[in-house]
């Protein structure tokens, strides 16, 4: 098991039973994406620590989606109880250096050799990777008519040939941390494959991006709920400021409602609504810009400045795919007008 140290900031979560949240097979009231989102939002709203919520939610989301949904019964019986007890962390490894997560550019391969699979390649930006015990590695299993087919494989941290390199730390996102992996002839049993579909990229990687986006709105909503009173502490009490804060509080309420709807759709099995996710992020960006431009509080308090810096980092994650989604949403207006 990875050494997380005696000062593990998530240790109290394990002691409080919070690692059960979102995992199938446990308390029915906690068996949902909404349960993860509620906890994620509450963590940020209480602490202002986006990194803490990111580390927690990423851990639970990976366990629920990849293992709870796609793993075999034997894999689920092995991994889920250990994850729920805090004795095991799983991290997903999709992106690669210089390639991002685009399927055309990924190069890591998984070659079947008898009862084993040999994996070679590199992975990057693995959230919670430095503390992970198991890496779920997306790798090319075949190429058909020029199209790559992918599989997902559970690779234990102590697998010979696996090298984990922590990536430059972003202090504002602690305790969430990232790493790179080098896989040099890493050999695992063929039974370590998660899921039996012919191509794991459209079945797992693409839906997971939507899940991350939807759950991420809960962190944003929690952050905004924390940010407003933290801001109010540092500004003069007058009607002009109260007027502005009152408007922002109304917008935060809208963001919270939209986030709840986005996550509820996940549990209902409904397809994501891009406009809703874009809308929450646009609201958050507008609120943060307003606070910076008109209330000028970033320099008033070190903790507040650090929290806003963490927001900036997360706002830039997967920025290009979100930009393309927003462009497509705008283009749809022209299509609707022509019909």
Whether the model clears a pTM of 0.75, i.e. scores above it, the answer is yes
Longest dimension (CA), the chain: 74
Structure confidence by residue, pLDDT tens digits, 243-277? 999 999 999 999 999 999 999 999 998 888 889 99
Q: Domain residues of the chain, as ranges?
A: 11-89, 91-198, 202-333
Q: Cβ(178)–Cβ(125) under 8 Å?
A: yes
Q: In which band, very low, low, confident or very high, does the pLDDT at 235 lie, cut at 50, 70 and 90? A: confident
What Cα–Cα distance (Å) separates residue 256 from each residue in 41, 45, 193, 278? 9, 12, 38, 13
What is the Cα–Cα distance from 154 to 67, expressed in whole angstroms?
10
Euclidean distance between the first and the last CA atom of the chain, given in angstroms as a whole number? 58
> CATH 2.60.40.1180: does it fit domain 91-198?
no
Taking 90 as the threshold, does the pLDDT of residue 70 lie above it?
Answer: yes
pLDDT computed for residue 95 by the predictor: 93
Please state which CATH number belongs to domain 202-333: 1.20.140
Task: Let me know if the fold of 91-198 is the same as that of 202-333.
Answer: no
Classify 121 in phi/psi space as left (phi over 0), alpha (psi -120 to 50) or beta. Answer: left
Cβ-based neighbour number of residue 203 at 10 Å: 17
What Cα–Cα distance (Å) separates residue 29 from each residue in 26, 32, 79, 153, 268? 9, 8, 21, 30, 15
In the chain, what percentage of residues exceed pLDDT 70?
94
């Amino acid at each position: 098991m990875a050494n997380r140290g005696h000062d593990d900031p998530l240790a109290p979560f394990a002691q409080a039973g919070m690692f059960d949240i979102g995992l199938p097979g446990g308390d029915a009231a906690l068996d949902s994406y909404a349960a993860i989102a509620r906890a994620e939002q509450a963590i940020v709203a209480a602490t202002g620590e986006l990194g803490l919520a990111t580390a927690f939610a990423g851990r639970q989301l990976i366990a629920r989606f990849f293992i709870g949904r796609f793993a075999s019964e034997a894999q689920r019986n092995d991994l889920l109880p250990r994850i729920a007890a805090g004795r095991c962390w799983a991290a997903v490894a999709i992106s690669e250096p210089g390639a991002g997560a685009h399927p055309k550019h990924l190069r890591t391969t998984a070659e079947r050799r008898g009862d084993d699979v040999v994996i070679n390649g590199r992975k990057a930006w693995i959230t919670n990777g430095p503390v992970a015990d198991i890496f779920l590695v997306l790798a090319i299993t075949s190429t058909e008519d020029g199209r790559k087919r992918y599989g997902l494989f559970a690779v234990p941290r102590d697998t010979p040939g696996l090298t984990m390199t922590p990536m430059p730390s972003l202090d504002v996102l602690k305790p969430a941390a990232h790493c790179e992996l080098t896989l040099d002839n890493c050999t695992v049993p063929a039974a370590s494959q998660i899921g039996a579909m012919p191509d794991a990229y459209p079945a797992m990687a693409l839906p997971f991006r939507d899940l991350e986006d939807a759950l991420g709105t809960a962190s944003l909503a929690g952050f905004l709920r924390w940010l407003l009173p933290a801001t109010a502490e540092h500004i003069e009490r007058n009607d002009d400021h109260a007027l502005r804060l009152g408007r922002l509080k109304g917008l935060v309420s809208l963001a919270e409602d939209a986030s709840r709807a986005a996550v509820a759709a996940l549990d209902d099995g409904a397809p994501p609504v891009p406009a809703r996710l874009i809308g929450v992020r646009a609201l958050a960006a507008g609120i943060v810009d307003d606070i910076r431009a008109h209330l000028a509080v970033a320099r008033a308090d070190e903790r507040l400045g650090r929290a806003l810096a963490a927001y900036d980092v997360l706002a830039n994650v997967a920025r290009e795919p979100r930009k393309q989604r927003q462009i497509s949403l705008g283009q749809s207006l022209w299509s609707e007008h022509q019909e």
